[in-house]
Amino acid sequence: MLSAYFKDKVVIVTGASSGIGLAAAKLFGSFGSNVVMASRSLSKLESLAPQVNPDPSKVLCVKTDVSVEEDCRRMIEKTVETFGRIDILVNNAGLSMRAMFRDLDLKVIHRLMDVNFWGTVNCTKYALPYLLESKGSVVGVISIAGYSALPARTGYSASKYAIRGFLDTLRIEHFKDGLNVLVYAPGYVSSNVRNAALTADGSAQGETPLDEDKLMSAEETALRMAKALRRRRSEVTLTALGKITVWGRNVIPRIADRITYRYIAREVNSPFK
């Protein structure tokens, strides 16, 4: 059973205060895992912790800005001090953006790389010795945008491509060490990521251009992640649209570019037409 596999495992989830991260924390908590919830808002984590597990000894909340290396080091240290080991690290914390590159303040791309790419690198660096000891798993939640570029999201796509390259390399480096490295690429998932997406000047978009009710739920995304971890998968791409997009990028790239352009141009208030 899936729950038996995760029972008493120590699972760290970054970006655990909302969206996929919160759904994953709740799911692992329901399986009896010891869950470490990490995000920038400690008060929000603490208010959500009883939903993950009513037993406070099974949930550790750690205020963590993943773009800050020292925060990541301290989060890993607190995890080991509390639970004695690490079995799974889910690098989920992330930011998106929506603006044409020509209009973009470069601080936006710096911010996305700091959170998305460096956040994954920072947490993985300090968790790695413990994951190697437990022959555990490290997950990078990327996006279809980490395989096939999305217009008006240069910083987002670049950061997700970078995460994929980093984790694919890490997998090969530890091919004989029992480390499982999962590159996990959801398609469009219902979450707060588009509301919080940065615009050209770095301010939050504040609204989503998509009908969130028609997208895959965060709960379903978390469940599929758990199944992939149980099977120790290396790579997962979600949704039919996501799989077709990745296939098109590899097989018919010029046609895929045209299709992607037209698809994104249909978004509400698209920054290009």
Residue 259: inside a domain = no
Distance, in Å, from the CA atom of 145 to the CA atom of 28, rounded to the nearest integer, reads 26
Distances (CA, A) of 16 to 11, 203, 214, 218, 238: 11, 22, 23, 12, 20
Number of domains into which the chain is organized = 1
Q: What is the dihedral of CA 228, 88, 135, 161, to 10 degrees?
A: 70
Tens-digit pLDDT string for the chain (273 aa): 899 999 999 999 999 999 999 999 999 999 999 999 999 999 999 999 999 999 999 999 999 999 999 999 999 999 999 999 999 999 999 999 989 999 999 999 999 999 999 999 999 999 999 999 999 999 999 999 999 888 899 999 999 999 999 999 999 999 999 999 999 999 777 666 656 788 888 777 656 555 556 678 899 999 999 999 999 999 999 988 888 888 988 899 899 889 888 888 787 777 765
Distance, in Å, from the CA atom of 268 to the CA atom of 32, rounded to the nearest integer, reads 42
Residue 252: inside a domain = no
Residue 88: inside a domain = yes
HEC string for the chain: CHHHHHCCCEEEEECCCCHHHHHHHHHHHHCCCEEEEEECCHHHHHHHHHHHCCCHHHEEEEECCCCCHHHHHHHHHHHHHHHCCCCEEEECCCCCECCCHHHCCHHHHHHHHHHHHHHHHHHHHHHHHHHHHHCCEEEEECCHHHCCCCCCCHHHHHHHHHHHHHHHHHHHHCCCCCCEEEEEECCCECCCCCCCCECCCCCECCCCCCCHHHCECHHHHHHHHHHHHHCCCCEEECCHHHHHHHHHHHHCHHHHHHHHHHHHHCCCCCCCC
What does the block give as tokens for 38? 């990490």
Q: Note the pLDDT of residue 210.
A: 53
Q: Note the pLDDT of residue 211.
A: 53
- Looking up tokens 């939903």 gives 51
Residue 258: inside a domain = no
Per the CB < 8 A criterion, the answer to whether 165 and 183 are in contact is: no
Q: Note the pLDDT of residue 193.
A: 61
Please state at what angle helix 19-30 crosses helix 42-52, rounded to 10 degrees: 40
Q: Note the pLDDT of residue 256.
A: 86
Q: Assign residue 120 the CATH number of its domain.
A: 3.40.50.720
- Which residues participate in catalysis according to the annotation? 156
Residues 6+ apart with CB under 8 A from 51: 26, 29
Q: Note the pLDDT of residue 209.
A: 55
Residue 9: inside a domain = yes
Q: Which residues pair with 235 in a beta bridge?
A: 183
Domain that holds residue 119: 2-239
Q: Note the pLDDT of residue 203.
A: 77
Residue 248: inside a domain = no
Q: Note the pLDDT of residue 268.
A: 74
- The pTM for the full model equals 0.92
Residue 266: inside a domain = no
Residue 261: inside a domain = no
Q: For residue 185, which of 134, 136, 150, 135 has the smallest C-alpha distance? A: 150
